[in-house]
Amino acid sequence: MTRKRPNILFLMADQMAVPSLPFYGHPVVKTPHLSRLAAEGVVFDSAYCNSPLCAPSRFTLMAGQLPSRIGAFDNAAELAADTPTYAHYLRDAGYLTALSGKMHFCGPDQLHGFEQRLTTDIYPADFGWHVDWEDFEERPSYYHNMSSVTQAGPCVRSNQLDFDDEVTFRAQRFLYDYARNNQARSDRERPFCLTVSLTHPHDPYTIPQEYWDRYDHDDIDMPRVPYSRELMDPHSRRLRHVYQCDEDTVSDAQICNARHAYYGAISYVDDQLGKVLKALEETGLDENTIIVFSGDHGDMLGERGLWYKMSWFEGSARVPMIVHAPDRFAAGRVSQSVSTMDLLPTFAELANDGEAPEYAVPIDGRSLIPHLTGEGGHDEVIGEYCGEGAIAPLLMIRRGRYKFVHSAPDPDQLFDLEADPRELTNLAEAPEYQDLRKQFRDEVTRRWDTQALHDAVIASQRRRKLVARANMKGQVTPWDHQPWFDASTQYMRNTIDLDDLEARARFPTASADRG
């Protein structure tokens, strides 16, 4: 008998730092639900984003293509409506595709292949957050600053709590509705791909007292590599300028508070995802659902004196990644370097009985199925960053034990991550590494026309700056997604017999012979 095509539940957390998770070795942070998935699933120990900023990372993940192919330069970039995403490929293959939560789409298309979008987004859909490399010193008001750190601590409510509580509720409701509406499903009816994307533990670093109290403040670890002038490469100095961090801006107490709140936010994420997993199990849908957990980028959390993301250092660029399908893939860990760009071909193959579909455009990502089945797989990540703090494309190649970072105005960076996991020693000028450096430099020349890419970024910034300014004058027509629910079909209405309504809404179906 042919196995039914699997449902796919894709769980995302925003700005989730790999070093802060217990299944990557953190001794304090508590994530029982995610840790269970890790213990029973396949954990990727060296997974990366392809651009360490929210929108470019997510667009690359959605499209399976590098940012330069799709114009995903910064947090106000538009993902073109004719860019195929994993939601398009799965929907075309017969899947019901739904999104609950953040994806940071900019522009008038707010669906990008999702048949159902259950919430609005937490971030604006217009071009207002564009970057301006031609006026770097003029700091826009939307940029990160250090208030997230200096004001860190407990709260009763926050903007992000309001959002993530709704994301979780809508995801649970989707699963319950899917189960109730499909109790008599045949094998030929539609499987689902549900993406649940929380905004925590993204800054600001604040979380309710309940989650703050899960951690003893004395147990909060401080950065392993504190700020020092000697570690400040040009891009790091520009980042600290962008978020207004001088040498005396934050105290050790504030750093500790921010990390404490961040750990509490991770536990909040775990609890929210636990509710979604409970709904999956209560409905019996877990028996044929592949669960994938990942993130869009990390958070430096004060390491090297840096915060948030926007760099290629490990704390910023690495992401957690788990694939949980114990009846399909044996539990284990993958050491090779992969990226979130690889998720599109992976999802497409999982939905297509392990075969690659005919892609409409060239795909830069590579399927993770060989890794999942223990049959090898690639060991390479290519990255591009063109957002805040940069003044030219910041390009990254991770292959084997080495990471190479190149930006035309700055000195190269070359790290041996096996010997130097904290990236303390830049080998780019070491005599014994000049052959390796040349190999990477030659590869950069082959892969990228850096001047053409730089010009494309500037041209995109100019266009979006004008459009953003013009669209805010006179009558404003927002692009933000407006979720709509038909109240006339909810709860008790006179369009359906009461007994029929109650029977349809109850799960599982009531049995007439119960005691």
The pLDDT of residue 514 is above 80: no
Output the pLDDT for position 20: 98
Residues 6+ apart with CB under 8 A from 414: 402, 403, 404, 405, 426, 427, 428, 433, 436, 437, 440
- What are the CA-CA distances from residue 511 to residues 176, 177, 504 (Å)? 19, 20, 13
- What are the CA-CA distances from residue 458 to residues 76, 213, 418, 453 (Å)? 13, 47, 37, 9
Q: What is the mean pLDDT of the chain?
A: 95
Residue 2: band (very low, low, confident or very high) from pLDDT cuts 50, 70, 90? low
The pLDDT of residue 494 is above 90: no
Residue matched to tokens 């599109």:
344
The domains of the chain are located at 7-379
CA 204-133-201 angle, 5° bins: 15
Residue 163's SS3 state is helix
193 annotated active-site: no
The pLDDT tens digits of the residues spanning 331-376 come to 999 999 999 999 999 999 999 988 899 999 999 999 999 999 999 9
The pLDDT of residue 186 is above 70: no
Identity of the residue numbered 85: T
Task: Check if the beta carbon of residue 302 is closer than 8 Å to that of residue 251.
Answer: no
Output the pLDDT for position 141: 78
- Burial (Cβ within 10 Å: 0-12, 13-18, ≥19) of residue 156: exposed
From 21-30, 42-51, 349-358, the region with the lowest mean pLDDT: 349-358
Separation between Cα atoms, residue 282 and residue 433, nearest integer Å:
56
Query: Which of 426, 149, 199, 424 has its CA nearest to residue 301?
Result: 149
The pLDDT tens digits of the residues spanning 98-133 come to 999 999 999 999 999 999 999 999 999 999 999 999
Catalytic: which of 33, 104, 144, 202?
104
pTM of the model: 0.95
Output the pLDDT for position 495: 86
The pLDDT of residue 490 is above 80: yes
* Span 461-468, average pLDDT: 97
Quote the tokens at residue 37.
């998935």
Scanning 140-229, the segments in alpha helix (DSSP H) are 147-150, 159-181, 209-212
CA 433-435-438 angle, 5° bins: 105
Q: In this structure, which CATH number among 3.40.50.720, 3.20.20.140, 3.40.720.10, 3.10.129.10 belongs to the domain 7-379?
A: 3.40.720.10
49 annotated active-site: no
Separation between Cα atoms, residue 391 and residue 418, nearest integer Å:
30
The pLDDT of residue 144 is above 90: no
Query: Which of 385, 223, 239 has its CA nearest to residue 312?
Result: 385
The pLDDT tens digits of the residues spanning 390-425 come to 999 999 999 999 999 999 999 999 999 999 999 999
Catalytic: which of 33, 49, 54, 112?
54
Q: What is the DSSP string of 390-421?
A: -SS-EEEEEETTEEEEE-TTS--EEEETTT-T
Query: Which of 434, 382, 378, 429 has its CA nearest to residue 403?
Result: 382
* Span 231-247, average pLDDT: 94
Separation between Cα atoms, residue 283 and residue 476, nearest integer Å:
43
